[in-house]
Amino acid sequence: MIARRGFLQIILAGLGLTALGSFLYPLLRYFSPTAGEGEAEKLIVDKREIPVGGSKDILFHGTPSIIINRPQKGFIVLSKVCTHLGCLIDYEKAKKRFLCPCHAGVFDLEGNVVSGPPPAPLPQFALKIEGDNLVIG
């Protein structure tokens, strides 16, 4: 009886330690910062490439985006992914707006919804001007 009890106790302790370890490892991973997210990566574009009113398509952190040199208001970087169903919006230079070809969502050059089905404005990315360079991110 005593031998059997000791044996069971050892098994219980062994399984208990395994269970503990099986939670400690995930916990350690949970708190470890995810490496290589690329969040810190910045994109540099020469601002002389974009005349006033002009634009340039870029891929920023995997998101198709657009840089616009707005008359009077300067540069802005916006995601090109329509917030309705994810189509890519077109920049209509003459009308100073963005138009989504899928369901006619219209955004102004700040990314705000003007009309149509999109539920939210276009995400905007941080932008800094350093000399002749535009630093995005």
Partner 1 sequence: MLKAIKNWIEVRIGLDELVRDQLTEYRIPRNINLFYSLGTVAIAAFSIQVLTGIVLLVYYVPHPDHAFKSVQGIMMDVPYGWLFRQVHAVGSNLLVIVVALHMLSVFFMKSYAKPREMTWLVGFAMLLLTLTFCLSGYLLPWSQLSYWATTIVTNMPTAFPYIGDYLTEFQRGSSQVSGATLGRFFALHVMLLPALLVMLLGIHLFLIRRIGISRPPFGPGGQERVEWTQFHHESYPDGMPFYPHYIAKEVFMIMVYLSAMFFIIAFLPTLFSPADANIPADPFKTPAHIKPEWYFLAPYQMLRVIPSKFLGITLQMIAITVLFFWPFLDRKEERNILKRPVLLGGFIGALLVWIGLTIWGNF
Partner 2 sequence: MGKFLRQSSVLFIVLVLAVPVLAGYRDIASNAIVNQAVVESEIENLCLTCHESAMMDEKRRKIPGEWRASWHFQNDVSCHNCHGGDPQDAALAMSPERGFVGVPKYQRVPAFCGTCHIGILKNYLASGHGRALMENGSGPNCVTCHGAHNIQKATIDIINENRCSQCHSYDRAKEMKHALSRTEQKIEDIEASITRLKAARVFTEEEDKEVFRTLAEFRTLFHVVDVSLVKDKTDDYLKRLGVIDKKLQGIFSELDSRRNFSVFLLLIFVGMAITGYLLSKTYS
Binding site for partner 1 (CB under 8 A): 12, 26-27, 29-32, 34
Considering CB distances under 5 to 8 angstroms, the limit depending on partner class, which of partner 2, partner 1, none binds residue 43?
Answer: none
* Shorter beta-carbon distance to partner 2: residue 26 or 54: 26
Per CB under 8 A, residues contacting partner 2 are 1, 4-5, 8-9, 11-12, 15-16, 18-19, 22, 81, 85-88, 99-104, 116
* Shorter beta-carbon distance to partner 2: residue 29 or 48: 29
For residues 119 and 85, give the distance between their C-alpha atoms in angstroms, rounded to a whole number.
Answer: 10
Residue 136's contacts (CB-CB under 8 Å, 6 or more residues apart) are: 42, 43, 44, 45, 58, 60, 67, 77, 125, 126, 127
Considering CB distances under 5 to 8 angstroms, the limit depending on partner class, which of partner 2, partner 1, none binds residue 102?
Answer: partner 2
Q: At closest approach, how far in Å is the CB of 130 from partner 2?
A: 32
Q: What is the residue type of 50?
A: I
**Bridge partners, residue 41, by sequence:** none
Q: What is the residue type of 82?
A: C
For residues 43 and 62, give the distance between their C-alpha atoms in angstroms, rounded to a whole number.
Answer: 12
Q: At closest approach, how far in Å is the CB of 99 from partner 2?
A: 7
